[in-house]
């Protein structure tokens, strides 16, 4: 039988058959479930895939939008097998959703570093931030200019090992002149769960965690952390402690157009950003601060000098390349449908995920979610409501401990108490891989009372 088939169909016939099947499968995908942006991406994928199948050696690597080639097994990536016993872990805000985009970008962000390069501690020894690689500084300034989300003129850039290190550096910078009492650090609840632990970790005599800024009524010096949009609930925020003499640190990790409308360029004393949530490169551990006051910037540099003698140059160069590719893809992409722009692509991903989640919540009837009014985004040139990196889910129907409740369905989340509020809330990451996210919404929709 097999021999008979072989005589009927030559290798060339089989190849043509495979091409036809591929083409019809992709057209079906486009027809069934794609937004216009996604359809474009699938169309982009289509051509090189066909070429590759006819002649693998002739396909080029550079900038090819093709089906992602996973580098890891399901086990290594933490992907959840699709069965009812699997645990859906959305506790951390690990931005693995972005792998897909970067895989499709092929070699555009590949960085090769010869062994002799970046052996010195120093980048530009005479600069205020002597360990900041100039190409990273340039790409940070360029990207903020392209997106319009922060003023960089008249600011000093301090690079850190993630914005987590810059947070510590900023606390040190503002308090190291040494008051008689530790300076109180507050943030409006629900606040980012790492702030209390990061503040009190080494039990510093310079500063201490003071909890919810809304109830803070101390008389001494204080620092208020303003996270906007906020982790965990996604709302755009301003400071809440209404008195003079306070210091503000703005953590704008999520002030990017895939999460929230860009309404004006941020113009604060000290602002923190991170590649972790901008491009998904959390593993590179690169963050930056835009600092007005040169004395504060100098003290932050001092802290980083003392704690880690600078920041990995390898990581900075990689981050610079990634930011450059983002700016190249997004420059002038405002009102267009240029899907290669990271922010456009991720915005459409986030829109789809939030729609899926809201559908699941409706179907279940046990939970509620925050609502976000649409605002005009100057970068994307359209109005939309925020699409936060975390879902701030509330258990209704008298379910008091939402985290434990969801664990019964093998869904791991972070409970409200970590964020300074009650246990009826949980935070759920919206940035995991498609497979995990899809499993989550499917499971959530089936939870009924």
Q: Is 164 in the site for ligand PLP (CB under 6 A)?
A: yes
Write out the H or E segment, with its range, that includes residue 170: helix 162-175
Candidate residues 192, 354, 419, 437; the one interacting with ligand PLP per rule CB under 6 A? 192
Write out the H or E segment, with its range, that includes residue 247: strand 246-251
Cα 169 to Cα 173, 198, 240, 312: the distances in Å are 6, 11, 23, 16
Give whichever of 64 and 281 is closer to ligand PLP, judged by the CB atom: 281
Q: Strand locations in 67-221, DSSP E?
A: 88-89, 156-161, 183-187, 207-212
CB of 313 to ligand PLP, least distance (A): 17
Which residue's Cβ has the minimum distance to ligand PLP? 162
Q: Is 95 in the site for ligand PLP (CB under 6 A)?
A: no
Q: Is 190 in the site for ligand PLP (CB under 6 A)?
A: no
Q: Is the dihedral of CA 18, 23, 29, 35 positive or negative?
A: positive
User: What is the chain's length?
Assistant: 449
Helix, strand, or coil here: 63?
coil
Give whichever of 259 and 372 is closer to ligand PLP, judged by the CB atom: 259
Of 420-449, binders to ligand PLP (CB under 6 A) are none
Considering only the C-alpha atoms of the chain, give the largest distance between any 2 of them, rounded to a whole number of Å: 92
| Binding segment toward ligand PLP, per CB under 6 A, in 73-81, 83-91, 128-136, 160-168 | 160-168
Write out the H or E segment, with its range, that includes residue 419: none
Give whichever of 41 and 253 is closer to ligand PLP, judged by the CB atom: 253
Per-residue binding letters, 339-378, with ligand PLP (x by CB under 6 A):
----------------------------------------
As a whole number of angstroms, the distance between CA 229 and CA 207 comes to 25
DSSP 335: T
Of 210-249, binders to ligand PLP (CB under 6 A) are 227, 231
Candidate residues 48, 162, 190, 420; the one interacting with ligand PLP per rule CB under 6 A? 162
| Binding segment toward ligand PLP, per CB under 6 A, in 26-34, 157-165, 341-349, 408-416 | 157-165
What's the distance, Cα to Cα, between the start and end of the chain in Å? 56
Per-residue binding letters, 252-291, with ligand PLP (x by CB under 6 A):
-x--------------------x-x-----x----x----
Q: Is 163 in the site for ligand PLP (CB under 6 A)?
A: yes
As a whole number of angstroms, the distance between CA 283 and CA 40 comes to 29
Q: Is 251 in the site for ligand PLP (CB under 6 A)?
A: yes
| Binding segment toward ligand PLP, per CB under 6 A, in 109-117, 161-169, 206-214, 327-335 | 161-169
CB burial of 95-120 (b: ≥16 within 10 Å; e: otherwise) equals: bbbbbbbbebbbebbeeeeeeeeeee
Cα 338 to Cα 348, 369, 398: the distances in Å are 12, 31, 46
Give whichever of 91 and 328 is closer to ligand PLP, judged by the CB atom: 91
Q: Is 193 in the site for ligand PLP (CB under 6 A)?
A: no
**Rg of the Cα atoms in the chain:** 24
Give whichever of 253 and 296 is closer to ligand PLP, judged by the CB atom: 253
Give whichever of 233 and 340 is closer to ligand PLP, judged by the CB atom: 233
The separation between CA 422 and the C-alpha centre of its own chain, rounded to angstroms, equals 26
Helix, strand, or coil here: 202?
coil
Structure-token match 């922010």, residue found = 343
| Total residues in contact with ligand PLP, by rule CB under 6 A | 13
Per-residue binding letters, 54-93, with ligand PLP (x by CB under 6 A):
---------------------------------------x
List contacts with ligand PLP (CB under 6 A).
93, 162-164, 192, 227, 231, 251, 253, 274, 276, 282, 287
């Amino acid at each position: 039988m097999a021999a008979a088939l072989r005589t009927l169909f030559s290798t060339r016939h089989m190849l043509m058959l495979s091409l036809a099947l591929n083409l019809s499968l992709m057209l079906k995908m486009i027809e069934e479930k794609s937004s216009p942006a996604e359809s474009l991406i699938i169309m982009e994928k289509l051509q090189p895939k066909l070429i590759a199948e006819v002649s693998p050696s002739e396909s080029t690597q550079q900038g090819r939008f093709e089906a992602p080639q996973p580098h890891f097994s399901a086990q290594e990536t933490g992907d959840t097998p699709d069965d009812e016993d699997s645990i859906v872990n959305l506790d951390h805000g690990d931005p693995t959703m972005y792998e897909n985009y970067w895989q499709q970008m092929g070699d555009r962000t590949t960085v090769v570093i010869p062994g002799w390069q970046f052996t010195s501690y120093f980048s530009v020894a005479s600069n205020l931030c002597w360990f900041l690689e100039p190409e990273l500084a340039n790409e940070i300034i360029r990207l903020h200019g392209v997106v319009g989300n922060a003023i960089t003129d008249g600011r000093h850039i301090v690079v850190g090992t993630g914005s987590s290190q810059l947070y510590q550096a900023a606390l040190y910078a503002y308090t190291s002149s040494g008051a008689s009492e530790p300076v109180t650090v507050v943030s409006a609840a629900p606040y980012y769960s790492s702030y209390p632990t990061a503040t009190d970790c080494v039990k510093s005599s310079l500063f201490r965690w003071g909890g919810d800024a809304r109830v803070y009524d101390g008389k001494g010096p204080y620092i208020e952390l303003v996270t906007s949009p906020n982790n965990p609930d996604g709302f755009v925020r301003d400071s809440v402690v209404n008195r003079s003499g306070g210091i503000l640190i703005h953590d704008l990790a999520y002030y990017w157009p895939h999460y929230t409308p860009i309404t004006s360029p941020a113009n604060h004393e000290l602002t923190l950003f991170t590649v972790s949530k901008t491009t998904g490169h959390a593993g590179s551990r690169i963050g930056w601060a835009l600092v007005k006051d040169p004395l504060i910037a100098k003290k932050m540099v001092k802290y980083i000098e003392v704690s880690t003698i600078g920041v990995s140059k390898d990581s900075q160069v990689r981050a610079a390349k990634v930011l450059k590719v983002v700016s190249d893809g997004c420059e002038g992409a405002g009102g267009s449908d240029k899907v290669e722009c990271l922010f456009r692509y991720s915005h459409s991903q986030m829109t789809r995920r939030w729609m899926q989640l809201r559908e699941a919540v409706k179907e279940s009837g046990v939970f509620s979610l925050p609502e976000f009014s649409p605002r005009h985004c100057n970068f994307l040139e359209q109005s939309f409501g925020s699409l936060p990196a975390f879902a701030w889910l509330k258990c209704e129907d008298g379910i008091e401990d939402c985290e434990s409740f969801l664990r019964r369905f093998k869904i791991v989340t972070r409970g409200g108490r970590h964020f300074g509020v009650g246990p009826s809330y949980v935070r759920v990451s919206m940035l995991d891989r498609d497979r995990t996210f899809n499993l989550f919404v499917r499971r959530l929709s089936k939870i009924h009372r």
